[in-house]
Amino acid sequence: MGFKCGIVGLPNVGKSTLFNALTQSAAAQAANYPFCTIEPNVGDVPVPDPRLEEVAALAKSALVTPTRLTFVDIAGLVRGASKGEGLGNQFLAHIREVDAVAYVLRCFEDADVIHVEGRIDPIADADTIETELMLADLDSLERRLPILEKKIRSQDKEAKKTLELIERILPLLREGKPARLAKIEDDEHAAFKALGLLTSKPVLYVCNVDETSAATGNSNSALIETRARAEGAGCVVISAKIEAELAELSEAERQAYLAELGLAEPGLNRLIREGYKLLGLITYFTAGPKEARAWTVPEGTRAPQAAGVIHTDFEKGFIRAETIAFDDYVALSGEAGARDAGKLRLEGKDYVVKDGDVLHFRFAN
């Protein structure tokens, strides 16, 4: 099951530098001119979770496999992208393919790195990105109206439902508000997603600050943090330059450098976790002598569907899930201790998997 978070922003905000650090590679060309990233670069990154190491140690697992999140580095957006300016059409098409969007915003001063609009103003940059995405969504929906109206005249009931949904979203877009603010009923989520709206995706603001502000943020990042709280969006303060340097160091050197900077962990760890949280994902674990592994599922997933992430046969033949809460697994020194203490539960098809559950699935072949 793949989950993708797109990294977007204006040119020269540190987007590709951040992506390179995320993937610890030079897959994206970080250069000081617009549109150096022409095709989206894709990288799978492990989701840092210290719980997995604890589970593995107790299970005496030979192999430890973390869950992963995919980041997509997308070419820099400019004003007018919705009308095809710059690499607008390619840019917008690539955003449609991701599940959430991280807006990388320039919150640092550097005379050697040009800003495409000649000023440092992260709020204006965020507005530019959001406006272009809203204009593209507005154009997309308005183009559909004549087609849907024609289908409705032919008594197409699904077209009528789609039109009713669109007519609730259009006023928002026309007022300069993103589609994700629309009130969507439970039975409309699939239809809403099928519209492929750019502003329907959850947003994570990434404030790229200078090295001296990495631990505390600065006045520019504070403005974005206030905006994120008001919107209920995610927000991470990070120095792409520091993260790029950390990616080149050994583990021992990395820890020493972090301590020197007053940072408890790389900013990328927080970015990955925030992306994971933004997508409404949780982690469950499987553990044994051969392997301890973390698995990703959306919050609210039932046991058979969680089993299906491992293999479709597990879902088809699901019988039950032997379940131990993470805290019980650790406190009672693993599966045997949890079973002896009566903390191993047998859960059926209606069980909703909890974050941190240690599961063993029983299924019929």
Question: What is the DSSP annotation of 268-309?
Answer: HHHHHHHHHHHTTEEEEEEE-SSEEEEEEEETT-BHHHHHHH
pLDDT at 35: 37
pLDDT digits (tens, 9 = 90+) for 272-296: 888 888 888 999 999 999 999 999 9
Three-state SS at 363: strand
pLDDT at 71: 86
- Amino acid identity, residue 39? E
Residue 284 near residue 295, CB atoms below 8 Å = yes
pLDDT at 111: 62
pLDDT over 90 at 80, yes or no: no
pLDDT at 75: 65
State the Cα angle at 277 between 271 and 280, rounded to 5°.
150
pLDDT at 91: 57
Q: pTM for this structure?
A: 0.81
pLDDT at 301: 97
pLDDT at 112: 60
pLDDT digits (tens, 9 = 90+) for 95-118: 788 888 999 999 987 766 555 556
The pairing of strands 234-238 and 203-208 is parallel
